[in-house]
Structure 1
């Protein structure tokens, strides 16, 4: 699912929706970290990415407050279950599928940051915050894409 974050008619609404997307990412990472069972290296990276997303919320919220806007305090309830739900469902199948679900989530955050970064209606102070966030998102996505896809299918012939 490709996000619509960043295409809003004004920058304020785009940043607010980006914060909501970040809250969704935090929830997805918390779910993924709790569900990963076999790979401590992956878990440590996901915890690091989780902390990046929390920092993004803090920085973006501070930016909105500087512009006399109230930032969202949580993810949109209507979309919240979709992101963490993908990770929970992936848990039924295994760690590799949890990582695959996180790749999709990172795709959305990359798209959102890129859209906002290329807007021409931005406040001067928004671009540095968005640029740093975009760099983090690209790093997350790259690391997740480099994870080997090892899917084991066991077939019993009897």
Structure 2
């Protein structure tokens, strides 16, 4: 999937779309944790899920400060992010991690764009950059772990 998140003209819409993206990611993480057979992999994925929950908390606060919409559920993309995990489950843990890595590709792209958004103030830009580093770390681990199997 290719995300368009980060291309919004307003910071309010950007924050709203990042909330959707995080909610979709959290759903994918939950699906992944349920399906992984290796408990060590599940444990690491659960730790990464915590990063996403923290991102969601910050984004919800940003939305309140901006007067922007703060969605309480994911959007239609959630079916795609969790569906990939369900399909990958038939092929084992490596395939699940590869599917998760493709989901992380979108979050990396979104936070790269958000960190360069012209309406981002220094505080929000710092958060976007931190979230980007988290997402890059998640993606790198998933890629590496999948290749080692």
* TM-score, normalised via structure 2 length: 0.94
Note the aligned Cα RMSD (angstroms): 1.4
> Is 134-143 or 62-71 further displaced after alignment?
62-71
- State the 4+ residue runs in structure 1 displaced beyond 3 angstroms: none
- In the alignment, what sits opposite 2:118? 120
Distance 2:29 2:113 in 1: 23
Q: Secondary structure at the match of 2:74?
A: coil
Distance 2:148 2:123 in 1: 43
- In the alignment, what sits opposite 2:84? 86
Structure 2: gaps of 5 or more residues: none
**Which structure has greater helix proportion?**
2
- Number of aligned pairs? 149
Structure 1: gaps of 5 or more residues: 152-158
Q: Secondary structure at the match of 2:4?
A: coil
- In the alignment, what sits opposite 1:18? 18
| 2:68 paired with 1:48 | no
1:60 Cα shift?
A: 0.6
1:148 Cα shift?
A: 4.1
Distance 2:146 2:13 in 1: 37
Is contact 1:60-1:129 (8 Å) kept?
Answer: no
1:150 Cα shift?
A: 6.2
